[in-house]
């Protein structure tokens, strides 16, 4: 086996990315502190053709060198918007017919492997603060609360890792 060179990967241009049909997934970042996590979410969202990212509350916005360091240019390809209040955004998305799933450990959560999104409806996935998680008021107003099953001692994943796991899973189920 031989590793592929960058020019053999079939990468599309940013202008092509902006024109192609996106996966009907919206990512909502609820008060994310780490700029590296934000950049990583952009890069993962680019990989799975995410429709849009909303940066809410204290979540920093591009341009910023620490976001750029992990995003590697994905802030230019993936559409994004800043919203001051996550709950207001959630209600706005729901009024547009978007189903909202908080990715959180809660009572009666749906385990990710058992969660089946409606393939013809857009879904927004909300990822929370590195310490406090998704705000309770957002959890209370979400259509679903989806949990990533974890068997180890920590029961906690980095938000960028959680995003990668969830987006890959949903991408596979929607395709």
Euclidean distance between CA atoms 20 and 46, whole angstroms: 12
Residue 63, classed as helix, strand or coil, is coil
Tell how far CA 106 is from the center of its chain.
Answer: 19
pLDDT band at 175 (very low <50, low <70, confident <90, very high): confident
Tell whether omega for the bond before 12 is within 30 degrees of 0, i.e. cis: no
According to the model, what pLDDT value does residue 45 have? Answer: 98
pLDDT band at 162 (very low <50, low <70, confident <90, very high): very high
The model's pLDDT over 103-133, given as tens digits with 9 standing for 90+, comes to: 999 999 999 999 999 988 999 999 999 999 9
According to the model, what pLDDT value does residue 106 have? Answer: 97
Query: Candidates 3.40.1280.10, 3.10.129.10, 3.40.50.740, 3.40.50.11540; correct CATH number of 21-174?
Result: 3.40.1280.10
- CB count, 10 Å around CB of 83? 18
Euclidean distance between CA atoms 174 and 15, whole angstroms: 24
**153 pLDDT above the threshold of 90:** yes
Q: Would you tell me the crossing angle of helices 159-174 and 35-47 to the nearest 10 degrees?
A: 10
Among residues 77, 86, 93, 58, the alpha carbon closest in space to that of 20 is found at: 77
The model's pLDDT over 14-71, given as tens digits with 9 standing for 90+, comes to: 999 999 999 999 999 999 999 999 999 999 999 999 999 999 999 999 999 999 999 9
Residue 28, classed as helix, strand or coil, is strand
Contact 128, 159 (CB under 8 A): yes
Q: Is the pTM here over 0.95, yes or no?
A: yes
Query: So where are the chain's domains?
Result: 21-174
According to the model, what pLDDT value does residue 57 have? Answer: 98
According to the model, what pLDDT value does residue 89 have? Answer: 98
């Amino acid at each position: 086996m031989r590793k592929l060179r960058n020019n053999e990967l079939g990468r599309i241009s940013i202008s092509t990315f902006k024109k192609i049909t996106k996966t009907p997934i919206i990512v909502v970042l609820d008060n994310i502190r780490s700029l590296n996590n934000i950049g990583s979410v952009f890069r993962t969202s680019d990989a799975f053709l995410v429709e849009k990212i909303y940066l809410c509350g204290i979540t920093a916005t591009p341009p910023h060198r620490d976001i750029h360091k992990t995003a590697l240019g994905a802030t230019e390809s993936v559409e994004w918007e800043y919203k001051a209040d996550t709950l207001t955004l959630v209600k706005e998305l729901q009024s547009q017919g978007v189903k909202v799933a908080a990715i959180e450990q809660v009572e009666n959560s749906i385990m990710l492997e058992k969660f089946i999104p409606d393939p013809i409806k857009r879904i927004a996935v909300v990822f929370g603060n590195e310490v406090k998680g998704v705000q309770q008021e957002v959890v209370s107003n979400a259509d679903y609360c989806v949990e990533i099953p974890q068997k180890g001692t920590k029961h906690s994943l980095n938000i960028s890792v959680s995003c990668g796991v969830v987006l890959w899973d949903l991408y596979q189920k929607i395709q």
